[in-house]
Each structure stands twice: as C-alpha cells, then as structure tokens.
Amino acid sequence: MTDGTAAWNKCSVCKTPIGFGVKYYKCSVSTCNTTRFQLQFCSVDCWDAHLPVQRHRSAHASEVVAPKS
C-alpha cells in the first residue's frame, strides 16, 4: 500500500494503510466494535498488541475483508 493507491482505512495500532478488498482483522469483543469506536488491524500481531491495553478476558481476531471500493 505504499505505491500511492487509495486506502480503505488504517490499522489502529501501527497506522499501516488497509487497502480496498484486502483482508484485515477485527477484535471479537463488542466494545471494540461500536459504531463510534471501530478498531481494525492489519495483522494478528497488531491485534495481539492491543490486548494488554484493553485487558480482554476472552477474545479472538476475526478475519474480515475490506469493502471493494
């Protein structure tokens, strides 16, 4: 995503652009995915980095595909 193409959104941890139609990860915990507070991660490692901050008891990374355009 560094070639100047448009990005759908950015990773919530490392701020790497997430492109259209690309797989990304969301936290399975509902408080991380409200309408006003959406977290998305470019990799499982970035998702894993947010766990100590959020202190989830039981969570997993859900693989999702970004919108096509």
Alpha helices in the chain (DSSP H): 44-54
Q: Which residues pair with 64 in a beta bridge?
A: 24
Q: What is the pLDDT along the chain (69 residues), one digit of tens a residue?
A: 445 568 999 999 999 999 999 999 998 888 888 888 889 999 999 998 887 777 777 888 999 999 997
Q: What angle do CA 63, 65, 66 make, to 5 degrees?
A: 130
pTM check: above 0.85: no
**Domain positions in the chain:** 7-65
